[in-house]
Amino acid sequence: MRQTADDVVRLAQEAGVQLVRLQFTDILGVVKNVAIPAAGLPDALAGRVLFDGSAVLGFVRSEEADVYLLPDPETFRVDPPGLEDPPAARMVCDIVNPDASPFPGCPRSALKRVLDQAGEMGLAIQVAPEVEFFVFERDQQGRATIRTQDQGGYFDVSPGDVGEDVRRAAVLELLAMGFPVAASHHEVAPGQHEIDLAPTDALYAADLLVTLRVVVREVARRFGCHATFLPKPVTGINGSGLHLHQHLSRMADGQNVMAQDGHLSSMGRRYLAGLLAHAPGYTAVANPLVNSYKRLVPGYEAPMYVGWSESNRSPLVRVVTAPPDRLHLELRSPDPSANPYLAWAVTIQAGLDGIARGLEPPAAQPRNLAAAADADRLGLRRLPDSLASALDALKRDALMREALGAHIAEQFLEAKRIEWDVYAEEVHAWEIDQYLTVY
């Protein structure tokens, strides 16, 4: 049973909540919130909180700055004690026009449109993200660094490591907020951690990820550290991914339609083929920073080629076959800097397109690819190798732009092209190191 507006008002009263944060993200996935007093909840739930959208990147052209926040009662969560006193609560919102129609610049509404299409095909989609991040020290002035004392590795217990304490505290707070945390562990690189969520409705999984990033950063700050979801903060060690586990079931009876006799069903194969076919097109959205492409390089467990496998972890898509009744696909390219609503929207749209067009995937990738020559021999395409080429690929992929909606696609491409141009014009420390004394 979903929470209703009445439940929200009652829960807020019971918890003594005084402030409610109405949370939403801009096109670039940056979390914004408008705080209202608890007494304003009935009005807010009726969609009567107005804000000036022109202050938020990508939301509005200046002549249509008035938009409303429409909170989703299901997303109401009281923050755990300790985060704020008296306790605050938060609710995730859609952005709507004055006539209550979805605002075209609302990323959450873009995802809903794609999920509605799945619904029309009789399909329900659950997503389980694996979120990787680093916990770094701050310097004496409190500024974030990329330093860590921690020497831990994959699944290690690293006593005395403040990063472990941050992760544990963050997970306890997420559990207290009702998050379906499935597991958490130290990741391969020093200072790197992972939190895995259990599969949830795709829309709520995106909402959860937005809040998770806020909670982890806030908890780290309390420990005097800095948590970052930047995909590749340190040269020479693993970057941080956001592996997306996608489950597909029949709406009518919840039957897993990806599985057949312990392998991918024909529908699963088609969904997989769609994920592969549109991979270049959705990469700019799943890997939206200049820095994202420094993660998608050889040697750090991140994919570079458009391939799939049932037996190894290196390809773009892995078929997760155990347990057989939960068989599903894991997409390994996205990173945690992505706007989750948009990343889910484009990748799910890609999979649905595979089903709609009856696409067949190429042969499975046989093993870990050791060298680019192997990929060439197998005829595997390379994922875009920079933000610039990913933007070109998105421009060429009409369906991926449609998944975003024309308004978001246009604003996204424009903002990201500027980001790339600024980066490309900058003279970087590497160039000075390499060239200054040689030429």
Residues making contact with ligand GLU (CB under 6 A):
132, 238-241, 295, 300-302, 313, 332
Cβ-contact 194, 187 below 8 angstroms: yes
Sign of CA dihedral 338, 342, 348, 350: negative
Q: How far apart are alpha carbons 52 and 46 in whole angstroms?
A: 18
DSSP E strand stretches across 83-143: 88-96, 123-137
Q: How far is the CB of 100 from ligand GLU (least distance, A)?
A: 40
Can residue 194 be called a binding residue for Mg ion (CB under 5 A)? yes
Partner that binds at residue 365, options ligand GLU, Mg ion, none, CB closer than 5 to 8 Å by kind? none
Q: How far is the CB of 304 from ligand GLU (least distance, A)?
A: 11
Cβ-contact 84, 19 below 8 angstroms: yes
Q: How far is the CB of 132 from Mg ion (least distance, A)?
A: 5
Give which of 336, 359, 182 is closest to 273, Cα–Cα.
359
Report how many residues bind Mg ion under the rule CB under 5 A. 1
Name the closest residue to Mg ion (Cβ): 194
Tokens (6 digits) for 63:
């002549």
Q: Which is nearer to Mg ion, 42 or 153 (CB)?
A: 153
Partner that binds at residue 330, options Mg ion, ligand GLU, none, CB closer than 5 to 8 Å by kind? none
Contacting range for Mg ion; rule: CB under 5 A; set: 136-144, 188-196, 256-264, 409-417: 188-196
Report residue 175: phi and psi, to 5°: -65, -40
Partner that binds at residue 217, options ligand GLU, Mg ion, none, CB closer than 5 to 8 Å by kind? none
Q: Which is nearer to Mg ion, 3 or 309 (CB)?
A: 309
Q: Which is nearer to Mg ion, 137 or 194 (CB)?
A: 194
Give which of 263, 246, 269 is closest to 328, Cα–Cα.
246
Q: How far is the CB of 286 from ligand GLU (least distance, A)?
A: 12
Contacting range for Mg ion; rule: CB under 5 A; set: 144-152, 187-195, 276-284, 330-338: 187-195
Q: How far apart are alpha carbons 280 and 392 in whole angstroms?
A: 9
Within positions 101 to 160, which residues make up the interface with Mg ion, using CB under 5 A? none
Partner that binds at residue 238, options Mg ion, ligand GLU, none, CB closer than 5 to 8 Å by kind? ligand GLU
Report residue 297: phi and psi, to 5°: -130, 165
Contacting range for Mg ion; rule: CB under 5 A; set: 107-115, 190-198, 351-359, 423-431: 190-198
Q: Which is nearer to ligand GLU, 302 or 348 (CB)?
A: 302
Name the closest residue to ligand GLU (Cβ): 241
Q: Count CA atoms within 13 Å of residue 253 on its CB side.
A: 3
Q: Are strands 123-137 and 77-78 parallel, antiparallel or unpaired?
A: unpaired
Partner that binds at residue 280, options Mg ion, ligand GLU, none, CB closer than 5 to 8 Å by kind? none
Q: Which is nearer to ligand GLU, 270 or 332 (CB)?
A: 332
Q: How far apart are alpha carbons 218 and 241 in whole angstroms?
A: 20
DSSP characters over 136-176: EEB-TTS-B-S-------TT---TT-HHHHHHHHHHHHHHH
Partner that binds at residue 302, options Mg ion, ligand GLU, none, CB closer than 5 to 8 Å by kind? ligand GLU
Can residue 330 be called a binding residue for Mg ion (CB under 5 A)? no
Q: How far apart are alpha carbons 393 and 398 in whole angstroms?
A: 10
Tokens (6 digits) for 134:
């680093």
DSSP E strand stretches across 294-384: 308-309, 317-320, 328-331
Q: Which is nearer to ligand GLU, 58 or 241 (CB)?
A: 241
Element (H, E) at 352: helix 340-357
Contacting range for Mg ion; rule: CB under 5 A; set: 165-173, 191-199, 223-231, 348-356: 191-199
Q: Which is nearer to Mg ion, 194 or 335 (CB)?
A: 194
Q: Which is nearer to Mg ion, 38 or 319 (CB)?
A: 319
Q: Which is nearer to ligand GLU, 53 or 239 (CB)?
A: 239
Q: How far apart are alpha carbons 396 and 402 in whole angstroms?
A: 11
Residues that bind Mg ion (CB under 5 A): 194
